[in-house]
Amino acid sequence: MSKEATCRYRARQRGEDVPKLSPGVKRGYKQTTEHIQKRKRFGAEHHNWKGDDITIKSGRTRALRGYEAKPCQRCGSLKSERHHKDGDTSNNTPDNVRFLCRRCHMLEDGRLDEFRKLAKKNQPSAVAARWR
């Protein structure tokens, strides 16, 4: 907050009648549209671009940013995730990315059976914990 704004605020707090300032031209450096466009660099033009040499998490993040959410292509559920068909998260081409809900995604990856086994194994202890 600037010194002027602080003084006006304190005067209002003391009960003085201080008229509000009309908004005018903002102080400071005004950037040109060309300058702003130069700063907006994405993908290969960005200074920190790593290409395909990325982590698994980075590949998933790129898929999230690159594709707008759609319904599940298997069951039609409105909540969906991005599934990489070939398992390579750095490959975000349209023919490699599918939209699947959580359940269909786990079924496609083969994780659903493991999850069911784990749930059945933990069910007695979960039920017992509920009644403690």
Interatomic CA distance for residues 94 and 63, integer angstroms: 10
**% residues pLDDT > 90 (the chain):** 32
Mean pLDDT calculated for residue range 21-33: 74
| Domain definitions of the chain by residue range | 58-130
Instruction: Please name which of 79, 125, 128 lies closest in space to residue 100, comparing C-alpha atoms.
Output: 79
Mean pLDDT calculated for residue range 29-43: 79
Stretch (H or E) spanning 62? helix 56-66
Please state, rounded to an integer, the average pLDDT across all residues of the chain: 85
Radius of gyration of the chain (CA): 27
SS3 97: strand
Mean pLDDT calculated for residue range 4-33: 82
Per-residue pLDDT reduced to its tens digit, 45-98: 877 777 778 888 988 888 988 899 899 999 999 999 999 999 888 888 999 999
Interatomic CA distance for residues 69 and 18, integer angstroms: 50
